[in-house]
Chain A
């Protein structure tokens, strides 16, 4: 039992009779709050399973088609990676597609986070007539399948002469019902009314309260929403395929055009996919740091 307990810094130095009690309490705390070997094993397995597809993309993308098809398949990356990148870039406008996807996903993310936070704040904390009905309507839109709106949407962008233009992909998804609901729930639970009242007494306008008090408090949720939105927008395939042409595609549309000969060229597809995934990994790394809990700690005594 003693070997399982974490080192207690004061245990050796503190000869007072209170020490054993403190020790026991810490061990109890460890059992309740800190993970044990089983948790670590499970987490390690989950991590490996999650990482494997990405690793396999790297391995497959760095071999030729014949090498991947061999038995047993290769398990380590190879030097052909850059040749495959080159092939992929020749077969589809992946560079342009990545740029397009960054523009589209970036705009959608900024728009969604901003508008959903604004709407979520209004639904969570402001009093106005018809609030309940409006919220029900917003949530109700989640029940309408995307496919249903494709034809009217296409007619609209055709009317606006936006076919094959990026705004055709950006504008329809600039705000999401899920995001509004998500921000509302977060603000209801994390933003005490007293903070808003303190702001009002301090002389802040509603917009100032939003900007100086609500946004800092909502930052962790905004980061989560940003990450989810960026991923969804980046992976979107159906609507960009319809609204854009292969000459001006997003990443997913461009990847679909890769290795589409008589025999699919797995290695080129994988190399292209790897290229298309890198920006997402960068975004994930940046935003992951933003998701810091405990920002509300100390605002109100509780």
Chain B
């Protein structure tokens, strides 16, 4: 068990124009489950590999517990890693795979067998201990990879998209199992994924990265309720937050023919750089208003999910201006009598609006 801290850690690949990870500052508490999330190429895997010692740290430092491990080889870091493609040793049985690290650490045969069996019991792998990886299903291989990590009882677990090779149903199931296992073991865990649903459901805290730069690190709830910038607002949540940009006018932001109400001082600060303001609102915080009230939209697609329905709409009076036209998603009660092509009026509560500076993309409160 240990804390982990990235201090201004950067990784610049040779011949690259910009750093893959740019001055990452991140403090991970003892026993915390931290998820690194972002689109592909955002530097999340590189950050994890830097922590594992598989990638050089070009500047800054990384500390595990109270030990600076910036230049330490992986074996001196007391970490265990679960790889995206599991990386099981093909010529070893499940038992040998799980016990390999212990064998290298010079742990005796009997203790090794005991520890492997304990881990196998937790992961339901006991019947498969003498099998080779090729005789296992994808889910079982994934569990062996987990077992190989937990058998070592390391200070930190590192997981690099461990669920991305499983089918959708198994992924959801394994997601909860991993989260429960981590709570039970209480081991500090850094988990990389590109799936924001995985990030939101598993993490104690979630760190959102983009282009190698940390955008925001907070609890899932806080990320959802108070995204720090336009990127986080659009990335977290499914369907994504509706984001529209318009001119600051008296009383709010002009979008099409409607004005979204934004308090005066917030508006002033948000419009300070170029007079334009980006406003965001979640699909579920939009209400259908009476004709003529609020934002006029045209329904393009209706998605009935049973539990609720999503309306994919576009601004009815959108001018031919990319900045002013936007697709808006609305969540409504299921079986709402709405048809494609119909015109609706939307309104959002003042408190449900997220306001961003259109120039800096930063949140304004």
The verdict on B73 contacting chain A, using a C-beta distance below 8 Å, is yes
Flag if A201 contacts B85 (CB, 8 Å): no
Flag if A201 contacts B54 (CB, 8 Å): yes
For B142, the closest partner residue in chain A by CB is A301
Residues 195-244 of A contacting B (Cβ, < 8 Å) = 195, 197-204, 208, 212-213, 216-217
Q: Which single member of A201, A217, A302 contacts B80 (CB below 8 Å)?
A: A201
Flag if A203 contacts B104 (CB, 8 Å): yes
Q: Which single member of A192, A201, A216, A296 contacts B79 (CB below 8 Å)?
A: A201
The verdict on A299 contacting chain B, using a C-beta distance below 8 Å, is yes
A209 to chain B, nearest CB (A): 10
Flag if A200 contacts B74 (CB, 8 Å): yes
The verdict on A7 contacting chain B, using a C-beta distance below 8 Å, is no
The verdict on A194 contacting chain B, using a C-beta distance below 8 Å, is yes
Of the listed stretches B36-44, B129-137, B200-208, name the one at the interface; the rest are far from the partner chain: B129-137
Chosen A-B contacts, 14 in total, with CB atoms closer than 8 Å, are A194-B83, A194-B87, A195-B89, A197-B54, A201-B53, A201-B54, A201-B101, A202-B101, A203-B101, A203-B104, A298-B135, A298-B141, A301-B141, A302-B85
Flag if B85 contacts A300 (CB, 8 Å): yes
Interface string of A289-301 (1 = CB under 8 A from B): 0000011111111
Flag if B75 contacts A204 (CB, 8 Å): yes
Flag if A198 contacts B85 (CB, 8 Å): no
Flag if A301 contacts B81 (CB, 8 Å): no
Q: Which single member of B75, B79, B88, B100 contacts A299 (CB below 8 Å)?
A: B88
Q: Which single member of A200, A212, A294, A302 contacts B75 (CB below 8 Å)?
A: A200
Flag if B90 contacts A301 (CB, 8 Å): no
Residues 238-297 of A contacting B (Cβ, < 8 Å) = 294-297
B115 to chain A, nearest CB (A): 14
For A294, the closest partner residue in chain B by CB is B134
A201 to chain B, nearest CB (A): 5
Residues on B with beta carbons closer than 8 Å to the beta carbon of A217 = 90-91
For B96, the closest partner residue in chain A by CB is A212
Q: How many A-B residue pairs have CB under 8 A?
A: 88
Residues on B with beta carbons closer than 8 Å to the beta carbon of A192 = 85, 87
Residues on A with beta carbons closer than 8 Å to the beta carbon of B84 = 194
Q: Contacts A197-B54, A201-B75, A203-B104 known; A295 to B91 CB distance under 8 Å?
A: yes
Flag if B90 contacts A299 (CB, 8 Å): yes
A295 to chain B, nearest CB (A): 6
The verdict on B165 contacting chain A, using a C-beta distance below 8 Å, is yes
The verdict on B60 contacting chain A, using a C-beta distance below 8 Å, is no
For A216, the closest partner residue in chain B by CB is B91
**Residue picked from B52, B91, B133, B135, most chain A C-beta under 10 Å:** B91
Residues on B with beta carbons closer than 8 Å to the beta carbon of A300 = 85-88
Q: Contacts A194-B83, A208-B104, A299-B133 known; A201 to B74 CB distance under 8 Å?
A: yes
Residues on A with beta carbons closer than 8 Å to the beta carbon of B148 = 198, 202
B239 to chain A, nearest CB (A): 30
Q: Contacts A201-B80, A204-B75, A294-B134 known; A299 to B101 CB distance under 8 Å?
A: no
For B84, the closest partner residue in chain A by CB is A194
Flag if A197 contacts B87 (CB, 8 Å): yes
Residues on A with beta carbons closer than 8 Å to the beta carbon of B152 = 202
Residues 46-68 of B contacting A (Cβ, < 8 Å) = 52-54
Residues on A with beta carbons closer than 8 Å to the beta carbon of B322 = none
For B83, the closest partner residue in chain A by CB is A194
Q: Which single member of B75, B132, B133, B135 contacts A203 (CB below 8 Å)?
A: B75
Instruction: List 19 extra interface pairs beyond A201-B79, A202-B101, A217-B91, CB under 8 A.
Output: A198-B83, A198-B89, A202-B152, A203-B104, A204-B75, A208-B104, A212-B89, A295-B90, A295-B91, A297-B134, A298-B90, A299-B87, A299-B88, A299-B90, A300-B85, A300-B88, A301-B86, A301-B138, A301-B141
Chain B contact patch, size range: 20 to 34
B46 to chain A, nearest CB (A): 13
The verdict on B305 contacting chain A, using a C-beta distance below 8 Å, is no
Residues on A with beta carbons closer than 8 Å to the beta carbon of B133 = 298-299
**Residue picked from B79, B134, B135, most chain A C-beta under 10 Å:** B134
The verdict on B16 contacting chain A, using a C-beta distance below 8 Å, is no
For B100, the closest partner residue in chain A by CB is A202
Q: Contacts A201-B54, A201-B74 known; A213 to B135 CB distance under 8 Å?
A: no
Q: Which single member of A203, A294, A299 contacts B89 (CB below 8 Å)?
A: A299
Residues on B with beta carbons closer than 8 Å to the beta carbon of A296 = 90
**Residue picked from A195, A202, A212, A299, most chain B C-beta under 10 Å:** A202
The verdict on B168 contacting chain A, using a C-beta distance below 8 Å, is no
A300 to chain B, nearest CB (A): 4
Q: Which single member of B74, B104, B134 contacts A298 (CB below 8 Å)?
A: B134
Flag if A203 contacts B105 (CB, 8 Å): yes
Flag if B165 contacts A301 (CB, 8 Å): yes
Residues on A with beta carbons closer than 8 Å to the beta carbon of B136 = 298
Residues on A with beta carbons closer than 8 Å to the beta carbon of B52 = 197, 201
Flag if B54 contacts A200 (CB, 8 Å): yes
Residues on A with beta carbons closer than 8 Å to the beta carbon of B91 = 216-217, 295
A113 to chain B, nearest CB (A): 17
B13 to chain A, nearest CB (A): 13
**Residue picked from B75, B84, B132, most chain A C-beta under 10 Å:** B75
Flag if B134 contacts A195 (CB, 8 Å): no
Residues on A with beta carbons closer than 8 Å to the beta carbon of B138 = 301
Residues on B with beta carbons closer than 8 Å to the beta carbon of A202 = 75, 100-101, 104, 148, 152
Residues on A with beta carbons closer than 8 Å to the beta carbon of B165 = 301
B161 to chain A, nearest CB (A): 12
Residues on A with beta carbons closer than 8 Å to the beta carbon of B74 = 197, 200-201, 203
Interface string of B146-161 (1 = CB under 8 A from A): 0010001000000000
Residues on B with beta carbons closer than 8 Å to the beta carbon of A197 = 52, 54, 74, 81, 83, 87
Residues on A with beta carbons closer than 8 Å to the beta carbon of B104 = 202-204, 208
* Docked pose: A213 CA to B103 CA in angstroms: 14
B83 to chain A, nearest CB (A): 5
